Amino acid sequence: MIIAVDGPTASGKGTIARALAEHYGLPHLDTGLLYRAVGRQALISDFDPDSPVEALCACGFHDKLLEDPELRSEETGGLASRVSIHPGVRQALFERQRAFALQDGGAVLDGRDIGTVIVPEEADAKLFVTASAAARASRRFREMQENGVDTTLEEITEQIEARDKRDQEREDSPLKPAPDAYVLDTTLMKKEEAFANAIRAVERALKGEN
């Protein structure tokens, strides 16, 4: 079984994807980490993330970089959004994601284009998890505070809105729900409620009811 979970940053898609993977006993891949690793590698190597050529060079990151806690920072998230607009970068990471999704037994993948580009035909269930920009900014701000990061809600809001604009307006694989995806708005939901709704959506999809 393959479950695709897409959506914008801080929507709750990662939490939901991990919970679904545990519930169904499937391996999970946060594909955003791959793009964050490219962005982080660009920074480490002093590459220009806005250059298609230099961003592509950053795709040669070592697997150990995926364990770097800096990948979760807002700075790296912004870099990931910038490198992800380049078709060459997306193509370089495409096969890696496909191979994970199509492994024996299936998998759960979350990202921006899993249901639309990575496994548009193969996914058994597709979710598009979203929330208002204000709700997402508030969640990320609390997370940053808990981690001792010095920032403001205004800064986080600006970063999220800028990332949304880049993700939605890029020519290659823009962020949007797949036609057959279940759209789950978590703006007013607690984690338990969001997960319960996600389970119901997956079960309906498996029965061909979506």
pTM here? 0.85
Long-range contacts of 61-64 (CB under 8 A, 24+ apart): 61/37
The predicted-structure confidence for 157-189, as pLDDT tens digits, reads as follows: 998 999 899 889 888 778 999 999 999 999 999
pLDDT digits (tens, 9 = 90+) for 64-98: 999 999 998 888 988 998 998 899 998 999 988 99
Residues paired with 107 in a beta bridge: 2
DSSP state of 181: P
**Token digits for 143?**
């997370």
Residue 49 neighbours by CB under 8 Å, 6+ apart:
39, 42, 43, 55, 58, 79, 82, 83
Burial class (CB in 10 A: 0-12, 13-18, 19+), 99: exposed
Give me the DSSP letters along 32-80: HHHHHHHHHHHHHTT--TT-HHHHHHGGG--GGGGG-GGGGSHHHHHHH
> Is 210's pLDDT higher than 70?
no
Q: Tell me if 111 sits within 8 A of 32, measured CB to CB.
A: yes
**Phi and psi for 8 in degrees, rounded to 5?**
-75, 170
Q: What is the 3-state secondary structure (H, E, C) of 186-201?
A: CCCCCHHHHHHHHHHH
